[in-house]
Amino acid sequence: MDIILLGPPGAGKGTQAQRLQAKRGMIQLSTGDMLREAVAKGTPVGLKAKAVMAAGELVSDAIVSALIGERLDTAAAHGAIFDGFPRTHHQAEALEVLLGERGRKLDHVIELVVDEDELVKRIIGRFTCAACGAPYHDQFHMPKVEGTCDACGGHEFKRRPDDNEQTVRTRMAEYRAKTAPILPYYESKGLVRRVDGMQSVEQVATAIDAILDS
Ligand code: ADP
Ligand code: ADP
Ligand code: ZN
């Protein structure tokens, strides 16, 4: 099964993708994570993407589509969870080609519906485990034991430089202008399933499970 988790920054895509990966053995393909890795390593892609990401704008379709293409085969046997991709019409078309070449097609596009003021709170409070990437939040989702990652026992955490109020507003605007308009395309294919992303992490997870098991 191949699915897209679609929603604005902070909607909970990464949180739910990680859970699906742990629980169902699907593979999370996050272009944001791939780009951050490229920036950290200082690769040519990273050098191009760094300033664009810091400004909250979108990296080029060619770069992110290539990143997905490189990883898609590793996710073949287990099913892919596209997290943060596609974000434009071009990317949606590129994904269709990449899947088609492999005899695959999308099963669901799960839209996480949330309100914008909540998103700003979610993003400003977001942090992750430095070792395994497990997502946390200052108010909504602290590790069970303070200072210790629930998933891997790690003790170091990090915050993203683009998770500040100014950049978040630009990222939301990019979502409204370029990403939300791809929903009608998927709707015309009958693929879109809406989930209320304002519910708790567990309630959202239950709603997604119901879709995948339907
Ligand atoms: P995205 O990948 O869509 O940008 P994340 O999964 O990283 O979003 O979630 C953003 C922040 O909000 C994280 O700090 C996460 O712990 C928190 N979060 C995710 N889902 C929920 C939820 N349903 N309720 C409250 N906080 C949430
Ligand atoms: P979030 O879901 O919290 O907005 P991501 O981790 O998905 O953040 O993305 C972080 C940044 O990486 C984006 O603001 C953008 O600059 C870049 N990026 C990630 N995925 C894509 C994509 N599919 N197309 C273009 N840019 C992307
Ligand atoms: Zn961890």
pLDDT at 75 exceeding the cut of 80: no
Q: What is the pLDDT of residues 101-158, one digit of tens each?
A: 999 999 999 999 999 889 999 999 999 999 999 999 999 999 999 999 999 999 999 9
Q: What is the pLDDT of residues 15-42, one digit of tens each?
A: 999 999 999 999 999 999 999 999 999 9
Q: How far is the CA of 88 from the centre of ligand 1 (A)?
A: 22
Q: How far is the CA of 145 from the centre of ligand 2 (A)?
A: 30
**C-beta of 84 in contact with ligand 2 (< 6 A):** yes
Phi and psi at residue 129, to the nearest 5° = -70, 130
**C-beta of 91 in contact with ligand 2 (< 6 A):** yes
Mean pLDDT for the chain overall: 95
pLDDT at 96 exceeding the cut of 80: yes
Query: What pLDDT, on a 0 to 100 scale, did the predictor assign at position 77?
Result: 78
Across the range 87-97, mean pLDDT stands at: 97
Least confident of 67-76, 142-151, 169-178, 185-194: 67-76
Pocket test residue of 5, 15, 157 for ligand 1, highest count of atoms within 8 A of CB? 15
Query: What pLDDT, on a 0 to 100 scale, did the predictor assign at position 203?
Result: 98
**C-beta of 122 in contact with ligand 2 (< 6 A):** no
Query: What pLDDT, on a 0 to 100 scale, did the predictor assign at position 117?
Result: 86
Q: Whose CA is nearest to atom 15 of ligand 2?
A: 58
Query: What pLDDT, on a 0 to 100 scale, did the predictor assign at position 164?
Result: 92
Q: Whose CA is nearest to atom 10 of ligand 1?
A: 10
Share of the chain above pLDDT 70, in %: 100
pLDDT at 78 exceeding the cut of 90: no
The rounded Cα 144 to chain-centroid distance in angstroms is 24
- In the chain, what is the greatest distance between 2 CA atoms, to the nearest angstrom? 46
Query: What pLDDT, on a 0 to 100 scale, did the predictor assign at position 141?
Result: 92
Cβ-based neighbours of 156, under 8 Å, separated by 6 or more: 129, 130, 131
How far is 118 from 199, CA to CA, in rounded Å? 11
Atom in ligand 2 nearest the alpha carbon of residue 171: 14
**C-beta of 171 in contact with ligand 2 (< 6 A):** yes
Q: Which ligand is nearest to the CA of 142?
A: 1
Q: Is the CA virtual torsion 89, 54, 163, 116 positive or negative?
A: negative
Query: What pLDDT, on a 0 to 100 scale, did the predictor assign at position 74?
Result: 84
Query: What pLDDT, on a 0 to 100 scale, did the predictor assign at position 31?
Result: 97
**C-beta of 185 in contact with ligand 1 (< 6 A):** no
Atom in ligand 2 nearest the alpha carbon of residue 13: 2
pLDDT at 76 exceeding the cut of 90: no
**C-beta of 95 in contact with ligand 2 (< 6 A):** no
